[in-house]
């Protein structure tokens, strides 16, 4: 059976205290909303729940509301507890993640340390936050998009009866690379009112947007005629063209004189090609 791991992140600002954590999770209905999302979308394909926290001077068992979620989930999965800076590497990257975020600072702090060696950026992320962070949603999605994290939803918690969940669609018929928040659904009285898919496939149709592809001359896979300005040809060019047709996007070819080079453990490539890829694609 393919193992996937669900993470619950309890994010707290470095200078804050547990008493300052203002997520209304002590509300039983809010805890139920979170639990239901996890049960519906994560537990059926996850064997372990890792509870990962950032505050260092507090006992997680004293955090109101999270204990309710933990108790409701303990019969469905194995629970572990780790600090987010001390996550042990697993054979399988963390694919199904729930982030409890207290502030925009803690959100940015977490994403600045998120490691692709441990986390699957193509995985699924549910970020739970206080409603006062709603004004930052577009910025939050922009940061997530810069990391190519697309399967992500934001759930602001309020004292209202309805819980609204938001996402973003980077490719639409109106825009390419959009990070504007879009209301996906709302949860009321134990059910989703719109019954929309909470994690839709956002990469199925790229709406004729243009993607840059950095490449170099490496026949027979890529063949570049330097005397002509035409598109390259070769086996991989054919494959890329088929993919573009299937996913509905245009290709902008960017040529490089360098090969890939060696990719080091810290992510550096050791060539100027890295700069070209990161700035133009």
pLDDT, tens digit, 9 for 90 and up, residues 26-70: 556 678 888 888 877 777 666 666 666 665 445 454 455 677 777
Report the C-alpha gap between 52 and 42 in whole angstroms: 16
Domain range for 213: 209-280
Q: What percent of the chain has pLDDT over 70?
A: 67
The phi, psi pair for 58, rounded to 5°, reads: -130, 150
- Given this model, what pLDDT does residue 175 score? 95
With b for 16 or more beta-carbon neighbours within 10 A and e for fewer, the 199-221 pattern comes to beebeeebeebebebbbebeeee
Predicted confidence band of residue 2 (pLDDT cuts 50, 70, 90)? very low
- Which DSSP letter does residue 276 get? H
Query: Does 198 map to a domain?
Result: no
Q: What percent of the chain has pLDDT over 90?
A: 28
Is the pLDDT assigned to residue 262 strictly greater than 70?
no
Query: Does 60 map to a domain?
Result: yes
Report the C-alpha gap between 33 and 28 in whole angstroms: 9
Residues 85 and 136 grouped into a single domain: yes
Residues 27 and 151 grouped into a single domain: yes
Is the pLDDT assigned to residue 267 strictly greater than 50?
yes
- Given this model, what pLDDT does residue 169 score? 98
What pTM did the predictor assign?
0.79
State the total domains in the chain. Answer: 2
Q: At which of 127, 158, 192 does a domain end?
A: 192
Query: Does 271 map to a domain?
Result: yes
Between residues 174 and 129, which one has the greater pLDDT? 174
Residues 61 and 114 grouped into a single domain: yes
Mean pLDDT for 243-256 is: 93
- Given this model, what pLDDT does residue 260 score? 65
Mean pLDDT for 194-213 is: 93
Cα→Cα distances 176→42, 143, 182, 241, 264, Å: 29, 16, 15, 19, 32
- Given this model, what pLDDT does residue 100 score? 78
Predicted confidence band of residue 21 (pLDDT cuts 50, 70, 90)? very low
Residues 175 and 261 grouped into a single domain: no
């Amino acid at each position: 059976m393919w193992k996937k791991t669900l993470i619950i992140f309890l994010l707290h600002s470095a200078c804050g205290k547990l008493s300052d954590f203002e997520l209304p999770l002590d509300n039983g209905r809010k805890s139920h909303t979170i639990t239901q999302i996890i049960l519906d979308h994560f537990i059926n394909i996850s064997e372990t729940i890792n509870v990962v926290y950032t505050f260092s001077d507090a006992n997680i068992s004293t955090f109101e509301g999270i204990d309710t979620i933990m108790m409701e989930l303990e019969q469905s999965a194995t629970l572990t507890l780790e600090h987010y800076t001390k996550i042990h590497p697993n054979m399988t990257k963390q694919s199904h993640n729930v982030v409890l975020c207290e502030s925009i600072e803690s959100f940015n702090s977490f994403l600045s340390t998120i490691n692709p060696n441990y986390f699957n950026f193509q995985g699924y992320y549910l970020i739970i936050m206080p409603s006062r962070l709603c004004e930052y949603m577009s910025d939050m999605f922009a940061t997530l998009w810069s990391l190519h994290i697309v399967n992500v939803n934001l759930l602001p918690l309020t004292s209202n009866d309805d819980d609204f969940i938001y996402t973003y669609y980077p490719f639409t018929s109106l825009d390419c690379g959009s990070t504007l928040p879009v209301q996906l659904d709302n949860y009321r009285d134990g059910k989703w009112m719109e019954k929309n898919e909470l994690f839709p496939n956002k990469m199925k149709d790229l709406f004729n947007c243009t993607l840059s592809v950095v490449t170099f001359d490496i026949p027979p896979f890529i063949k570049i005629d330097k005397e002509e300005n035409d598109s390259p040809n070769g086996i991989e060019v054919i494959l890329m063209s088929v993919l573009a047709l299937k996913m509905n996007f245009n290709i902008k070819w960017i040529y490089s004189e360098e090969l890939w080079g060696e990719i080091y453990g810290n992510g550096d490539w050791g060539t100027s090609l890295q700069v070209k890829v990161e700035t133009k694609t």
